[in-house]
Amino acid sequence: MLQTVQKNPGITRRELADKLGVASPTVTRGVQNLHEDGYLILVKEGKYTRHYMPGNPYGNA
């Protein structure tokens, strides 16, 4: 999951689920855990939440 976010900064959960070939709830659970542990930055843009790695210029928001 982290490699996919690193290669696709700003990816949404739906896009992430499609790329990984898993269900959206699986991505949601994984993203929440990674965010809580400081491995992902979540940026809300309208109705979408974009995912970034820490250190990405957009991930510092």
Joined together, the tokens standing for residue 40 give: 């992902």
- 2-56 CATH fold: Arc Repressor Mutant, subunit A (1.10.10)
Look at residue 19 in the predicted model and tell me its pLDDT: 97
Q: pLDDT (tens digit, 9 = 90+) per residue, 30-50?
A: 999 999 999 999 999 999 999
The string of pLDDT tens digits covering residues 12-26 is 999 999 999 999 999
Per domain, the residue ranges of the chain are 2-56
The count of other CB atoms within 10 Å of the CB of residue 60 is 10
Q: Please report the DSSP string for 4-42 in residue order.
A: HHHHSTTB-HHHHHHHHT--HHHHHHHHHHHHHTTS-EE
Residue 16: Cβ-neighbour burial (10 angstroms; 0-12, 13-18, 19+): buried
Q: What is the pTM of this model?
A: 0.84
